Amino acid sequence: MKCAVVVFPGSNCDRDAFHVLKNVFGLDCHYIFHEDRFPPDEFDLIVLPGGFSFGDYLRAGAIARFSPVMESVREAASRGRFVLGICNGFQILTESRLLPGALLRNDGLKFVCRDVYIKVVNNRTPFTCLLEDGQILRIPIAHGEGRYFIPDDQLREDQIVFQYCDEHGNVTEDSNPNGSCFNIAGVINEKGNVLGLMPHPERCCEEILGNTDGRKIFESLFSYFTRRHDHEAN
């Protein structure tokens, strides 16, 4: 699997994502600067990492969506390549209309940075195929604009992939760190190849960090990709 990590001005989780893909999982991984373009079939997975992007003072991701690289990302997504947007990357995906909805200021108007629990509510996606419905993961968050909003009639139920919950899996108001509607922590597009995730799975993929729950999301995608690749080869 060949991977790309897009670097926007202000990205600060690009190295984390690159390290996990290249050094933890041993994949062929490359940085792509926001002013560059690439052929739509060059990469199997494109990661838009967390951090900041220029123009966030207007609205997170609102200006970054006009970056030349996003033309390539949109084309790659339309051809079935996998796209993962984490935190600021999630914000850019919604602004680019690759995912529905919008990310707004946290309801407490404060930056939040801590571990949270999220529950798998759809394990029928490439990013969750090795997980069980109802499985609970502990994943770090770090955001000021993570409140996902979408009108009820603009999101299919099966597009909700992860919800914030407590350690027992209860989806409650108290377990929602930012006020996201329906406690949404991650959504996928209708085609099933573009995932937006507010928590940071790349920050919990190694034993030395004391938590490897994030590995399960990446491992699901790699397993799905391998099975699909083997099927197509036969």
One of 3, 200, 204, 205 is an active-site residue; which one?
200
One of 13, 34, 95, 202 is an active-site residue; which one?
202
Residues 197 and 86 sit within 8 Å (Cβ to Cβ): yes
One of 87, 165, 204, 205 is an active-site residue; which one?
87
Tell me the two tokens of residue 71: 């033309």
Instruction: Determine if residue 196 is left, alpha or beta; phi over 0 gives left, psi from -120 to 50 gives alpha, anything else beta.
Output: beta
Residues 16 and 214 sit within 8 Å (Cβ to Cβ): no
Tell me the two tokens of residue 234: 């036969």
Pairing of strands 102-104, 147-149: antiparallel
Q: Is 71 a catalytic residue?
A: no
Q: Is 202 a catalytic residue?
A: yes
What is the spatial order of strands in the sheet that 112-120 belongs to? 28-33, 2-7, 45-48, 82-86, 194-197, 184-188, 160-165, 112-120, 136-143
Q: Is 87 a catalytic residue?
A: yes
Q: Give dist(CA 60, CA 54) in Å, integer.
A: 9
Residues 93 and 65 sit within 8 Å (Cβ to Cβ): no
The stretches of the chain forming alpha helices (DSSP H) are 14-19, 68-78, 88-95, 215-233
Residues catalogued as catalytic: 87, 200, 202
